[in-house]
Amino acid sequence: MVTRRVVKLTEFGSPQVLSIVTEELASPMPGEVRVRQTAIGFNFIDIYQRKGIYPLPLPTGLGFEAAGVVEAVGSGVTHIQSGDRVAYMNAGVGAYADRRNVPADKLVALPDTVSDEAAATLLFKGMTAQYLLRKTHAVQAGEVLLVHSAAGGVGQILTRWATALGATVFGTTGSPGKRETALAAGCVDVIDLNDPEWPDAFLRASGGRKARVVYDAIGKDTLIKSLDCAAPFGLVVCYGASSGKAPAVDPELLNKKGCLFLTRPSVFPHNADPATFRANAADVFEAIAQGHVSVDIGGRFRLDDIVEAHVAAEERRFGGALLIAP
């Protein structure tokens, strides 16, 4: 038995509902390993869960991804040993902690080329970009894509990787200050969403060419207008709700806008099978090694400052990814 520090949520609400407790952590059960965490990833979904938009049974931990070193191994675990460097992104909530027991089949071993910090900022977001670019639509060279929030965590990765695949990526940001970040990630042009006529601005920038795929995780504020940016028979991917839940879409509207396809996918079902999870992670690690996947670390916080980290994320203060050090 060891003690650990872990973030707990006993009610839904503002960042201030997050508190840190010290508690005993039992030895790993059969099939589990104990990870001493060195870097914890922040993801926008953590905000939805803290607010209760995606409700969790209370009390609960929070956070989906972390990297660290295996400290103890439960019975029946053969492919992971004490001392291994590992990371995870789909082991359920509870990553905001300095130690955690994790089912071994939810862990990936980290190659030497991927640091703990890179893993904790890239695994969840990289796995998201991986299925969006390979499964939701297999992106081809020469295709025009529109990526919303291109300066954000997933947005930067999507943009870099799609550009490496030969696509022409237009991005959007919610403030002109993030334009340079989106351009540095590979966008050929960046549209300011403060312009209410931003779909026209996109079409002017693209020379009238609409997007084969629109990647929209903003939701409420953008989804209907995103339909105007997709080419006939194109795909609109609603994969998040940063501004609030997207409105219901009448199928007839998809017909009117050009026989469009609309999908609302999630990273978890794409990685539920352990072998598929490991194969997808290997794809992300290879893309990191090739330099196709990276993200700026926009802000660094201690676990003790988790409230401040959530405030900063909600205020959209930083581009890129936020990193939490235990």
Could you list the residues that contact ligand NAP (CB under 6 A)? Answer: 43-45, 125, 128, 149, 151-155, 173-175, 178, 217-218, 221, 239-243, 265-267, 316
CB of 122 to ligand NAP, least distance (A): 11
CB of 14 to ligand NAP, least distance (A): 14
* Beta carbon nearer to ligand NAP, 125 or 212: 125
CB of 72 to ligand NAP, least distance (A): 30
* Beta carbon nearer to ligand NAP, 9 or 77: 9
* Beta carbon nearer to ligand NAP, 77 or 267: 267
- Whose CA is closest to 44, among 242, 293, 269? 242
* Beta carbon nearer to ligand NAP, 68 or 174: 174
CB of 269 to ligand NAP, least distance (A): 9
Instruction: Give the C-alpha separation, 112 to 114, whole Å.
Output: 6
CB of 156 to ligand NAP, least distance (A): 8
CB of 240 to ligand NAP, least distance (A): 2
* Beta carbon nearer to ligand NAP, 65 or 98: 65
* Beta carbon nearer to ligand NAP, 73 or 147: 147
Encoding tokens for residue 140? 């081809």
- Whose CA is closest to 159, among 177, 178, 314, 43? 178
Instruction: Give the C-alpha separation, 26 to 237, whole Å.
Output: 42
- Whose CA is closest to 151, among 312, 299, 318, 308? 318
Could you give the C-alpha distances from 126 to 36, 48, 81, 101, 158, in angstroms and in order?
A: 22, 20, 25, 23, 8
- Find out whether 285 and 114 touch, Cβ atoms under 8 Å: yes
CB of 81 to ligand NAP, least distance (A): 30
Could you give the C-alpha distances from 232 to 173, 229, 259, in angstroms and in order?
A: 24, 10, 6
* Beta carbon nearer to ligand NAP, 70 or 217: 217
* Beta carbon nearer to ligand NAP, 37 or 149: 149
Instruction: Give the C-alpha separation, 129 to 183, whole Å.
Output: 18
- Whose CA is closest to 313, among 43, 35, 79? 43
* Beta carbon nearer to ligand NAP, 68 or 153: 153
Q: Which helix (H) or strand (E) covers residue 285, if one does?
A: helix 274-289
Question: Long-range CB contacts (< 8 A, 24+ apart) of 308-316?
Answer: 308/15, 309/42, 310/15, 310/18, 310/46, 310/47, 310/50, 311/15, 313/42, 313/44, 313/47, 314/15, 314/47, 316/174, 316/175
Residue 152 DSSP class: B
For residue 326, the Cα-to-chain-centroid distance in whole angstroms is 20
CB of 142 to ligand NAP, least distance (A): 26
Encoding tokens for residue 96? 């905001």
